Structures are given as structure tokens and as C-alpha cells.
A and B are shown apart, each in its own frame.
Chain A
Amino acid sequence: MFSILRSMFLVFIHLFRKKVTLQYPEEKPVLPARWRGRIILTRDPDGGERCVACYLCAAACPVDCIALQAAESADGRRYPEFFRINFSRCIFCGYCEEACPTYAIQLIPDFEMSEYDRRNLVYEKEHLLVDGEGKYKGFNFYKVAGLAITGKGKGEGENEEPPVDVKSLLP
């Protein structure tokens, strides 16, 4: 008897607490940047595709919902020929983002992706690739990698000596 009265009292005093419920969708919630929602593929500061199709996100994904195919463009950059995420399987764990060595794949605070038809939850590269850097600004993988691409030859990356002259015997 006492416990029932106590519970009713506790519920009653909650009426005077500050409301946390939002009138969604009229009112939008403010989510922290690290919130794990919709996945995007970003670009590096020069506007080039960041994803180098290394397959690490696909390997990290516990539900195996990322599929892609690597290709190489004429300028030497690696990129995904196609990149598909099946969001009807994704559990938004963020492992893909954690695995990505280029900051290409990122989870953003957007959860509004409900669909009536599951098939619409299959996102291809054109649905994933955005025109910005996302959360991680300034990183450009090719600047730190040893691979040469058009505009960045051997030895022109960060912290690199010019290429060795193999004909020289000087110390």
C-alpha cells in the first residue's frame, strides 16, 4: 500500500520537472557530432575522393553490409568503382569509421532515413559521397602515403626525401 502511494507521488512530482521530450518532427533534436547516424563518404581538402577502396571498412563491418570494388584512375588514385551500404542491415556501430585509414567513411548525426520499402535502404556511392570533409578537416591521405599520383610525384609527400639517384655511390 505504501509503495503504491510512493510511486504515485513520484510520478506526480515529475509533472513539475523540465521536459526532455521534443515535439519531433516539428522540433529537431540537437545531436553531438560524434552521434552515429547516416554514413557518408567524404572528400579530402582538394576535393578528391578520400576513399581509396582499401576494403578495411567492409572487413570491419560486423554485419557485412558494405560491398565495394577497387579501381585505379589514370592519375594513379585508387577509388571505389562502386560502393554500396545496405542500411537495412547496418547497426550503426561505427566500426567502419574506426577502421578507415583515410577518414573517408564517417557516421554523422542524421537518423532520418526511414523507408517504407527496404530496397530504398540500399545506398550506392552516389547516395553516400558528399562534397565536403565531414568531421575530420585537413587530412589528405596521398600527402602522407608513398604512392605517386598526378600532382604529387615520388618524394614530394610530407616528410619525404627526393627519390634516390641509383647511379650515385656517394654516401
Chain B
Amino acid sequence: MAIIYIENKPYQAPEGKNLLNACLSLGFNIPYFCWHPALGSVGACRQCAVKKYRDESDTRGQIVMSCMEQVAGGLRISIDDPEVREFRASIIEWLMANHPHDCPVCDEGGECHLQDMTVMAGHAYRRYRFKKRTYANQELGPFINHEMNRCIQCYRCVRFYRDYAGGRDLEVFSAHDHVYFGRHDHGTLESEFSGNLAEVCPTGVFTDKTLKKHYTRKWDLQSAASVCVHCGLGCNTLVAERYGSVRRILSRYNGAVNGYFLCDRGRFGYEFLSSAKRIRRAAKRNSASGAMEPADKKIILRSIKEIIAGGRVIGIGSPRASVESNFALRRLVGPDNFYSGMSAAEEELTALSIRIMKSGCASFPSLRETEKADAVFVLGEDVTNTAPMLALALRQSVKNRAAASLKKNRIPEWDNGSLCVIKDEEPGPLFVASLLPTRLDDAATRIFRGSPTQIARLGQAVAHAVNENLPAVSGLEQAVAKLAEEIARELTEASAPLVVSGAGCLSGPVMEAAANIAAALAAVNPRAGLFLALPESNSFGLGLLSGKPLDQAFQRAEKGEVRAAIILENDLYRRSEKKRVDRFREQCRHVIVLDFIDTATAAKAEIILPTAPFAEADGTLVNNEGRGQRFYRVMDPEEDCRPGWRMLAEIMEYAGIGDAGQWTTIDDIIAGLCAEEPELQGMREIAPPAEFRIYGQRVPRQPHRYSGRTAMKAHEDIHEHKPALDFDSPLTFSMEGFRSGPPPSLIPFYWSAGWNSVHALNKFQAEIGGPLRGGDPGIRMVGSSHKNFEYFKPAPVTPTPGGREYLLVPYFRIFGSEELSVLSPSIAGRIPGNLLLMNESDAKRIGAGNGSLVRVAVADAGASLAVKIDPGIPEGVAGYPAGMPGVEFMNLPAWGAITEGG
């Protein structure tokens, strides 16, 4: 810490930080545009000027850009000096000279950084009387709207899109006062992180196109803190509602998880909430006609009671249901009858990753910490498509080598201009070993392509090269052995090496090899990290509840031991072969499905009870790093919908099971869970209990300017209703309550006086870019205080079958492979189609070309797909579009036959 003087008063500021960041962290207001905490400084907009003085006796001072100034002891500056104020006012006046008269029709209005900074810099009247410059717009696809007239040339968009996110198709064109930010031509933005442009751009040039479909101003949105349900990383989100429907998702800053950003699946997947596939009414199958008919919930509860009384009931949970809901189901059917609902492979890999984490074999960095790694080895995971935000983090890690060399030359790390000049000359090591080409290949130092067995073998060879005592891998090709040496060398030399793996190639040996490497590195370098991605939002949490895999439920049904099955928020057809699920359905007399979307499983149920999706429910999700995070409902569930756990508690109460009658709030369930699972005590600490109050007040979900309160429902009923009550959280569905500084896990939106845009976040952080004031929300549920790791033995090599067999491996797509987001119209527009990826010579061999239909068959399943020839795919391997809409489940990786013709 250094002492700096602002207006002659001493303040503490971190040495070496940039001055703008330090001043904002101290609570001063300085207008800025081109600087962004995650993007660093380039000093382009000249808006953040302050006056710097040589020493006490200096009265004239000089104007400097605070974002380009380093904090050093004794630095003297003035923010309020009249000359520098005038300077800032004239800068904003220039920036506004061509700005259109658009605020009323601009989606940024009311949460616009440009509006805020214009007011802050004191520019009120337009003096420029000449013609305004205009631009033509581009059509940029289903996510982002383009309105180029509003640009102030701060360059943040291209700096985020290209330098930060590694995108290629957004560029700055033309010259002088004509610069244009867009694509070379109309067309969909390719980056998986394009949605962040809406938050990064300080003006209304790039805005959320899905919000535009039902546009609402920030002040009218009722919001709540939530957690993304579309992958296992658990990025934090802010969900916003108006008139009973969710309007948009924003990134909720979490200094340990997603930081400032979100991927497009997480940002735009929310539209599934209003999809036609939503279930909102309880229904029962008419035994005579066989049709599903809406029925009164009471009647349904009575039938369920009878079914439960009949005995032999099992429960099937789900990795997309909250911990509370899964636990409630386990309590309802009893631990012996509780099945996790994951496929055997998923279950095994989840358990394995929990076991590895508990063993404490290495450090387990948070998602945000992976940005700081300086050598990365990815085994078997196409991170961009399975854990998108991890890809964004890894793209930052490759810049660390350049950052280190800047440091050597005494250039600060936040000097983004310098960093970008050298980042491509000295890229950090990133090794990608994968089944198929990945979206991260362009950033990789070396790429290895092989089957899961080959990847595991490479991994074991790297582990051996790091620690000679580990078994060597015999019969390795020379090139692979050399690659292993190189990877091992880079990882050992790095100060924070990172090994990344996960369930992405559905192979245990790959994950084991990754753990071995990380453990071998950690033995000599405590900063060596391991990051294991898991497929779904609550895979980890479900793994902690020790259910049994789905296959065992099927086996039990086979033996005739299952009369009824209660399936919670799970489409079994996505977890097992169609044949087997069909057979299971036949063997069960009764199938009760609790879900919020109409799945293939729900279509065959006898009884359907609608549960509430994340926006209408409270609950806890545990992400891949074991971080338990609470999500809050943004509105009360409609019609018959109830959070899964509440619905199950109602069933238990009706059927008179256990003490469930006393389960009225989520806190009761968590207390019940902690009593049964002492390991999960952390659940209590994740979020404040429902009774939590600040000065006797709740935390409002509505901003202070929320409008229309007395008119929204006046057409239905002239009497104003009391706002809905919330017994599960300290939040309230109202604009009244305590709004300055709620605990971080409760923050429903960012807003601060003079800061209406997303940058109001500055006022909620202890230090800008660092943790939130009060600590980042979420609690890691699995500790690794002591080491009890035993190196995994390399798996034996399975012989490859002869004949015309291909190794079918799954591939996942950010837009397409996830069950819920594909129901969102904007995402549906980006699904690539169900294609079988093949090598050209393989395709020729079976007489297929691009687009021709082939038949794929493995042990228990088969499918007809169109072929896409991809030169990056190894011979003898074919990529199967796992989990995409309309694609049948196959237990992969597996050997199978591919024949021409559908």
C-alpha cells in the first residue's frame, strides 16, 4: 500500500495499480470510457483526466489520464481542479457531438454508461450545430442488436471481442472520424461470448436482442440473484422479470467464478422459461382414453398417496434439479430407493471428480483463478462447448507469459495496449488433447488428437515425465513421447501450472491421468492446480447425495421390484438408450413425473406435476468446483408450479411420510439435509436464512424507480393487491426495504447514485475487479485439508476391434447439447444441425460425402444422421452429436458400425 494525496488529503492505495482503479475503489467518481476492469487501460478516450502535481509546492500541475497513471507513494493529484473539470467536460462534449437523439428509443437508456458519464462530466447543452455523422447498421444474428450511430469510439467492443475473447469476426473498419465497429458484412457473430458486448459497450450500439422482443427499462425490472443452469460452472446471474415473464439475464459479478462475463448460452438460454414446452398444470392420464388431462392438484395428490401406499416406489433424481429437490425426493422414497438419474458414465465421473477433490491431490483453483495459470494442459475436454466460461478464462491464461515479460520491463500488467502488442509473440503454453477439433485450438501451443485411451496414455506419460516414480507408458509413439516431454517441461517450469479435464469425453482414465499429473506437479509446486468440468448445473451436488446410477434402477425394475417411479426433472431418454427406457416404463405400473418442461419422459407419465424452474424457485446448485450457490426466485411460480422440493414436501405431507409436514421453508429442508448429511453443513452458510433482516428490513427485488405499481393489474382488479410474501428468503417482491449494501449473496441488482449502468458494480466491490464487499458468494462444500491421494494406475489398453468398426465419440455444442437452452428461440437459431463428423477418407470408404445420410449402430442403439466431413478428425473416429435435439442417446465412446444410407 502506498499513500497518495487526492485534493491534498492522504489515502491508501495499492502500489502499482492504475490510478483510475484506485480512485474508483476509494469511492471517488471519475468518468471513464475505454477503461474496463477486465480489459485494462489503453488511454484512448481521454475522459478520465485528473491533475497530477510534482510535489506540495507545485500549483500548476499537469493533466494526465488517470487510467494510464501508476499508483506510487507520494503521488499528488486533484480530481476537482477547475481546469481538469473543464477538460473532461469538453471531452464528453466532443464525444457527444455526433451522438444521435436516441435515448427514448435506445435500449441502453436508463442504464447507460454514456448517460451517466455525460452527467458526471457536466455536459448538459449541445452547442455543436453542424450535421451529425451517421452509419448503416448490420444484422448480427439472434443475440445482438447493432445501432452504430450511437458509437463513441471507445474501442471496448473490439478489445473484448478480439483480444479478450479470441473472436475474429468483429473488427474496426475505416479511418479518422469514420471508424466503424462491426463485421466485414452482415452475419451472425461467431463468438460464444458475443452477448457480453451488450454489457461491455458503454452505449447502445450493441444491445441484447432478446430483451428487445419484450423491452423493459432497468428501473422496471424486478430482479433476483440466480445461478446459471446451463452448464456445470455455476456462473452467477441476475434474472430480471416484468409482467410475469423473465426479460433478460445479466452477469452477476462473482470474483471467484465468472467475474464480469457470461457465455451466450447462459445469457440467452433463459427464453426456455416462456417456451411452449413449459408445463404449468398438474395432469393425470385418463385410464380410458389414454390422454393426459389437467386435474385438480388435490385429486392428484390423493392418487399419489395411494400409489405410495402400494409400496415398491423408487425415486429418480436429476443433475439439473437443486440439492434441496433431490434431497426431498431421497427423503420421500428413502435412501435405498433413491437413484441419481445420471447415466452410469456420468455417475462414475462425477463420483470420481468428487473423490479426487476430497483427496486434496493438488490445489483446486476457482474458475476465475484459472485465468492466472501460466501453463495449461487440457485433457479430453472441448471446454468452449462443455464449460464455455472456462474457455474464456483459459484464453486469458495464455497472456500471462507476455504479462510476465512486461513486468520484467517494469510495464504494469494493466497496460493493455502494450500487452496486446506482445501477447501473440510470446503466447503462454496451452496444450489441448482432445477427441475432435475444439474451439480453443487456435490458442493452443500444441494439439493432440486421439481416442480417450490415447489421451489417457499421453496424460500418464506426462505424469511420468513430471515424476519418474510413476509408471512409464510402454509402446508410445515417438512423437507422442516427445510431446509428453514438452508438456511436462512447460508444466514443471511454470509457476502456476493447471491441468484441466472433465466429463467431456466420458472417460474415467482421462480424468485419472489428469489427477496424476496435477498430483505429481503439486508435490513440488503447491500452486499446481486441477480443474475438472462436470456436465450439469448440479452434477456435483447430486453426487454428494450418494444416489445410485440410473442403470441400477433399470436392473431393479427388470427384477420386478419397482411398482412406481417418481422422476424429478429428468428426461431419461437423454440418459439411456431408448429401448431400455421404454422397457423400464413398461415395467413400472406408475410413473410420476415432476418437471417444468414437457420431455419425452413426461409424455409417457401417468401423472405430471409441474415444478418451478430457476426463475420461480429457490434452491442450491453445487458447481463443478464444489461451490454451493443459492439462487432466488425472481417471481412467484404461476398456476400449479411449485419448486421441486416444495411439491415433494406437499406429497410427503399428504401421504404422511416422516416429519416432512414441518418442511415449510427452504431453511427447514436445509436443516433436515444437514442433520442427515453432516458433510454438507456448509449448506447453512451459503446464504442468510429467511429471517435475516437489515435494520428490521428485507431486501427489495424492485428498484426505487419501479413504475406502474397502481396500473399494472388495474385492468384485472382495481384494488391493489398486497405483494406476494416470501417465506424462503430475506428478499421481498416490493420496492420497499433496505437497499444499500445487502450481503453479496442477496444482491438483486447493481445500482448506485449517479451510476445507473452495469458499472454501478464498482460500488459493490471491495476493490474494483476484486471480491465483492463482504466476500464473494458461495461456499465450497468439499474441503481437502489433508492429503490422502494415491496415484491412479494407468488403465489397461483395450484392444481395438477389427473389421469395419469406427470409434464413435460424443461431441458437444454450446448451442445444442444442453436440454433447456435449446428451447430458447434465439439459441435454437444457432444449433448447427445433427451431423456425424467424419474424416474424408473414412467417409469415402463408406461412399458418403458431405450431407449424405448414414446409419450409425452401436450395441444398444442406432441413428440416422447426415455426414459432415471435418479434416481435423482422426481416421477411424467419428463424432456423434450427443444430446442434441432429436438425437438418440448412445452410450459413448463405443465402437460401432457406420453404413451408407439412412
* A85 within 8 A of partner (CB): yes
Closest to A102 in B: B104
* B705 within 8 A of partner (CB): yes
CB-CB under 8 A from B708, the residues of chain A are 58, 64-68
Question: Would you call B131 and A161 a contact (CB within 8 A)?
Answer: yes
Per-position binary interface string of chain A over residues 71-98, scored 1 when its CB falls under 8 Å from any chain B CB and 0 otherwise: 1100000100000111011000000000
Q: A70-B215, A164-B174 given as contacts; is B102 within 8 A of A86 (CB)?
A: no
* B698 within 8 A of partner (CB): no
* B707 within 8 A of partner (CB): yes
Q: Which of A61, A86, A161 contacts B707 (CB 8 A)?
A: A61
Per-position binary interface string of chain B over residues 199-239, scored 1 when its CB falls under 8 Å from any chain A CB and 0 otherwise: 00000000000001011110110000000000000000000
Question: Would you call A163 and B135 a contact (CB within 8 A)?
Answer: yes
CA A17 to CA B215, docked complex, whole Å: 59
Q: Chain B at the A interface: mostly helix, strand, loop or mixed? A: loop
Closest to B99 in A: A146
CB-CB under 8 A from B134, the residues of chain A are 146, 154-155, 157, 160-164
CB-CB under 8 A from A166, the residues of chain B are 135, 173-174, 178, 180
CB-CB under 8 A from A147, the residues of chain B are 100, 102, 105, 147
The number of residue pairs between A and B whose CB atoms lie closer than 8 Å in the complex comes to 137
CA A71 to CA B215, docked complex, whole Å: 7
Per-position binary interface string of chain B over residues 710-730, scored 1 when its CB falls under 8 Å from any chain A CB and 0 otherwise: 111011001000000000000
Question: Would you call B131 and A159 a contact (CB within 8 A)?
Answer: yes
Question: Would you call A146 and B100 a contact (CB within 8 A)?
Answer: yes
Q: Which of A55, A67, A160 contacts B217 (CB 8 A)?
A: A55
The stretch of A33-41, A106-114, A117-125 in contact with B is: A117-125
CA A167 to CA B173, docked complex, whole Å: 8
Question: Would you call B243 and A69 a contact (CB within 8 A)?
Answer: yes
Question: Would you call B101 and A144 a contact (CB within 8 A)?
Answer: yes
Per-position binary interface string of chain B over residues 116-143, scored 1 when its CB falls under 8 Å from any chain A CB and 0 otherwise: 0000000000000011111111000000
Question: Would you call B711 and A85 a contact (CB within 8 A)?
Answer: yes
* B672 within 8 A of partner (CB): no
* B150 within 8 A of partner (CB): yes
Closest to B719 in A: A118
Could you say which of B101, B131, B175, B216 has the most chain A C-beta atoms within 10 Å of its C-beta?
B101
* B109 within 8 A of partner (CB): yes
* A171 within 8 A of partner (CB): yes
Residues 804 to 855 of chain B near chain A (Cβ within 8 Å):
none
Could you say which of B103, B173, B712 has the most chain A C-beta atoms within 10 Å of its C-beta?
B712
CB-CB under 8 A from B718, the residues of chain A are 86, 88, 118-119, 121-122
Number of chain B residues close to chain A: CB under 8 A = 44
CB-CB under 8 A from A130, the residues of chain B are none
Closest to B106 in A: A147
CB-CB under 8 A from B135, the residues of chain A are 154, 163-164, 166
Question: Would you call B711 and A89 a contact (CB within 8 A)?
Answer: yes
Question: Would you call B711 and A64 a contact (CB within 8 A)?
Answer: yes
CB-CB under 8 A from A59, the residues of chain B are 110, 217, 219-220, 705, 707
Question: Would you call A146 and B102 a contact (CB within 8 A)?
Answer: yes
CB-CB under 8 A from A144, the residues of chain B are 101
Question: Would you call B174 and A84 a contact (CB within 8 A)?
Answer: no
* A7 within 8 A of partner (CB): no
Q: Which of B131, B150, B715 contacts A84 (CB 8 A)?
A: B715
Q: A146-B134, A159-B132, A164-B135 given as contacts; is B101 within 8 A of A86 (CB)?
A: no
Could you say which of A86, A124, A165 has the most chain B C-beta atoms within 10 Å of its C-beta?
A86
- CB of A45 to closest CB in B, whole Å: 17
Question: Would you call A72 and B212 a contact (CB within 8 A)?
Answer: yes
CB-CB under 8 A from A161, the residues of chain B are 131-134
* A134 within 8 A of partner (CB): no
Question: Would you call A86 and B714 a contact (CB within 8 A)?
Answer: yes
CA A160 to CA B130, docked complex, whole Å: 8
CA A124 to CA B173, docked complex, whole Å: 47
Question: Would you call A164 and B104 a contact (CB within 8 A)?
Answer: no
Question: Would you call A55 and B147 a contact (CB within 8 A)?
Answer: no
CA A131 to CA B136, docked complex, whole Å: 33
* B9 within 8 A of partner (CB): no
- CB of A170 to closest CB in B, whole Å: 9
Q: A59-B219, A63-B710 given as contacts; is B133 within 8 A of A171 (CB)?
A: no
Could you say which of A66, A85, A118, A145 has the most chain B C-beta atoms within 10 Å of its C-beta?
A145
Q: Which of A65, A69, A85, A122 contacts B214 (CB 8 A)?
A: A69
* A21 within 8 A of partner (CB): no
Per-position binary interface string of chain B over residues 844-874, scored 1 when its CB falls under 8 Å from any chain A CB and 0 otherwise: 0000000000000000000000000000000
CB-CB under 8 A from A119, the residues of chain B are 718
* B537 within 8 A of partner (CB): no
* A3 within 8 A of partner (CB): no
CA A44 to CA B90, docked complex, whole Å: 35
CA A121 to CA B130, docked complex, whole Å: 47
Question: Would you call B711 and A66 a contact (CB within 8 A)?
Answer: yes
CA A63 to CA B215, docked complex, whole Å: 22
- CB of B412 to closest CB in A, whole Å: 34
* B489 within 8 A of partner (CB): no
Closest to A169 in B: B175
CB-CB under 8 A from A72, the residues of chain B are 212, 215
CB-CB under 8 A from B707, the residues of chain A are 55, 58-59, 61, 64, 66-67
* A129 within 8 A of partner (CB): no
Q: A119-B718, A159-B132, A166-B174 given as contacts; is B220 within 8 A of A58 (CB)?
A: yes
Question: Would you call B149 and A154 a contact (CB within 8 A)?
Answer: yes
CB-CB under 8 A from A164, the residues of chain B are 133-136, 174, 178, 180
* A132 within 8 A of partner (CB): no
Question: Would you call B104 and A141 a contact (CB within 8 A)?
Answer: yes
CA A166 to CA B212, docked complex, whole Å: 27
* B176 within 8 A of partner (CB): yes
* A168 within 8 A of partner (CB): yes
Per-position binary interface string of chain A over residues 27-67, scored 1 when its CB falls under 8 Å from any chain B CB and 0 otherwise: 00000000000000000000000001111101101011111
30 cross-chain CB contacts under 8 A? A55-B110, A58-B220, A58-B707, A58-B708, A59-B219, A59-B707, A61-B707, A67-B714, A70-B215, A70-B216, A71-B215, A72-B212, A72-B215, A84-B711, A86-B714, A86-B718, A89-B710, A118-B718, A122-B718, A145-B102, A146-B132, A146-B149, A147-B100, A154-B135, A154-B136, A159-B130, A161-B131, A161-B134, A164-B135, A168-B178
A-B pairs, top 6 by smallest CB distance, nearest first, are: A146-B100, A67-B708, A54-B104, A67-B711, A58-B707, A64-B709
Known pairs A124-B715, A164-B133, A169-B174; list 9 more (Cβ under 8 Å).
Answer: A55-B110, A55-B217, A64-B706, A64-B711, A68-B708, A101-B103, A122-B711, A159-B132, A166-B178
